Amino acid sequence: MHGCKLVMISILSLLAGAVNAATPCDKTVCWQVAPTVCLVNQQQRPCHLAVSLQWQSALPQSVCIYLDEQQLDCWRAANQGQWQQQLQIAGPAKLELRNQQQQVLLQQQLTVLSRQPERRRRLVAPWSVF
Amino acid sequence: MRLIVVLLFLWPVWAVADQCAASKNPAVECTDTGQWQFALAIGAGHRSNPLIGGRNFPLNLMPDLNYYGKHWFFDNGTLGYSWTLTNDLQLSLISRLNEEKGYFRRHHLSNWLTNQVSSDQSLMGPTQKYQQQIELSVADQAKRPTAIDAGWQLDWFTPLVQWKLNWLHDVSGQYHGQHASIAASHGWQTQLGHWQLSSAVTWKSSQLINTYYALDSGTEDQLDRLGHSWQPELKLSWSYPLTSDWSMLAFYRYRWLDSAITLSPLVVENSVRSWFVGVSYRFF
């Protein structure tokens, strides 16, 4: 029984640690972005994912979020913001939070994974051993 | 004139082109990355041997083996590393065995020599000289080297035709020469199966030709020296899937040998013809 309690405490401690790790904000600006991986059935096909984003800042800031070089949304003199939108990406993409001076405050890579193996064009003729 | 012939062989062929799309399009030769693919074909066929006394190379059992990673690949004896320059352009560093030695493996000059020497004993002069040298060549045929080539290949996938440029040189120090080729191929799908028409022109340096086809590559005698060679070829391939693993398969290839190589007393035919008809089974 005592051992069982120890195990439970350990699991709860780990879970608490995981929750803390998921929302750390000891920096001036933080954010949480989910999901960051998009699954596609076949390679080369565009991938759709509904991205949710939350950011917090210690000081009020005017910031914008960008998908690669495309501006998605902006806030003026805000301490925090929330944003949610369906994105379509064809390959790896970068989500960035930039200030008015276009400095990148935060960056998150979005990855596309395929359920099927990647295919390549053959560079040697089939049946050409002889 | 030679240029016109070359251009005629390389003139783009008709029909619809396809890219290696996400959907499996049978008109494009694509392969999954990260896994070995192996198929075996069984049937009837041969590759002719242009050498005097050369025996045809039987094509009754043919393997098709390839592995493609993100950059590395091994495909039917060619080892390569590719860089994708654009969507339609790939540059590869490749290496493979030189194919010239293959003719000499199926070379049985001894029978031919006995007949020729007995029937031509009365001949004098240069002919006699050739006879003597061919005897030497027969004795030394094992000296035809097994060479390893390495070089560059550029693949350009246009909407109509797949172009292939390659340049290879001897990295094994066997023949100290090089060869290059330009090829165009196109595949299309009909109700009767998948067709592929390919044309190519290969240039082979005089060092390569002399090492394999001169009577004695070590001699400085002009009579025995051969020049560089141009070898155009055409190939038509056909395959028809019977099930997901079994297919019917056939091809015919005709390669012209120019006078640079047919000048050699060892070469008696001005073409190399290959054909095959059979069925193939894909193991994995």
Residue A62: the pLDDT is: 93
Residue of B66, B202, B253 for testing the chain A interface, max A β-carbons within 10 Å = B66
Q: Nearest Cα to B153, choosing from B75, B254, B101? A: B75
The domain in which residue A59 lies consists of 27-114
Euclidean distance between CA atoms A37 and A109, whole angstroms = 9
pLDDT tens digits for A99-124? Answer: 999 999 999 999 988 877 778 889 99
- Percent pLDDT > 90 in chain B is 56
B residues 151-190 lying closer than 8 A (beta carbon) to A? 153, 155, 157, 162, 164, 185
Residue B218: the pLDDT is: 53
Rg (alpha carbons) of chain A, rounded to whole number: 21
**Other CB atoms closer than 10 Å to residue A113's CB: what's the count?**
10
Rg (alpha carbons) of chain B, rounded to whole number: 21
A19 inside 8 A of chain B by CB: no
Euclidean distance between CA atoms B29 and B157, whole angstroms = 11
Point out the residues of chain A with pLDDT beneath 50.
1-22
Instruction: Give the contacts of A101 (CB within 8 A, at least 6 positions apart).
Output: none
B138 and B107 Cβ atoms separated by less than 8 Å: no
The whole-model pTM stands at: 0.65
A127 inside 8 A of chain B by CB: yes
B residues 86-145 lying closer than 8 A (beta carbon) to A? 90, 92, 102
Token pair listed for B14: 């008709």
Residue A42: the pLDDT is: 74
Residue B7: the pLDDT is: 41
pLDDT band at B6; cut points 50, 70, 90: very low
What CATH number matches the domain at B2-282, 2.60.120.20, 3.40.190.10, 2.40.160.40, 3.20.20.70?
Answer: 2.40.160.40
A121 and B163 Cβ atoms separated by less than 8 Å: no
Q: B47–A130: do the CB atoms touch at under 8 Å?
A: yes
pLDDT tens digits for B119-175? Answer: 444 444 455 545 555 554 444 554 788 899 999 999 999 888 999 999 999 999 999
Residue A22 lies in a domain: no
- Residues of chain A with Cβ-Cβ distance to B35 below 8 Å are 117
Euclidean distance between CA atoms A117 and B22, whole angstroms = 10
Strands A104-114 and A93-99: antiparallel
Instruction: Give the contacts of B132 (CB within 8 A, at least 6 positions apart).
Output: none
In B, minimum Cα distance to A119 occurs at B32
List the CATH number of the domain containing A82.
2.60.40
- Domains of chain B, by residue range, sit at 2-282
Residue A4 lies in a domain: no
pLDDT tens digits for B209-266? Answer: 998 888 765 555 555 678 899 999 999 999 999 999 999 999 999 999 999 999 888 8
Tell me B105's DSSP state. Answer: H
Give residue A5's Cα distance to chain centre.
36
In A, minimum Cα distance to B20 occurs at A121
Residue B141: the pLDDT is: 54
Q: B76–A126: do the CB atoms touch at under 8 Å?
A: yes
pLDDT tens digits for B85-128? Answer: 988 899 999 999 999 888 887 655 444 443 444 344 444 445 55
A115 inside 8 A of chain B by CB: no
Q: Nearest Cα to B135, choosing from B266, B270, B262, B267? A: B266
Q: B92–A122: do the CB atoms touch at under 8 Å?
A: no
pLDDT band at B2; cut points 50, 70, 90: low
Euclidean distance between CA atoms B262 and B217, whole angstroms = 16
Residue A59 lies in a domain: yes
In one letter, which amino acid is A123?
A: L
Q: What is the ipTM of this complex?
A: 0.78
Euclidean distance between CA atoms B67 and B37, whole angstroms = 6
- To which residue do tokens 């047919």 refer? B262
pLDDT tens digits for B169-205? Answer: 999 999 999 999 999 999 899 999 999 999 999 999 9
Number of domains composing chain A:
1
In A, minimum Cα distance to B197 occurs at A125
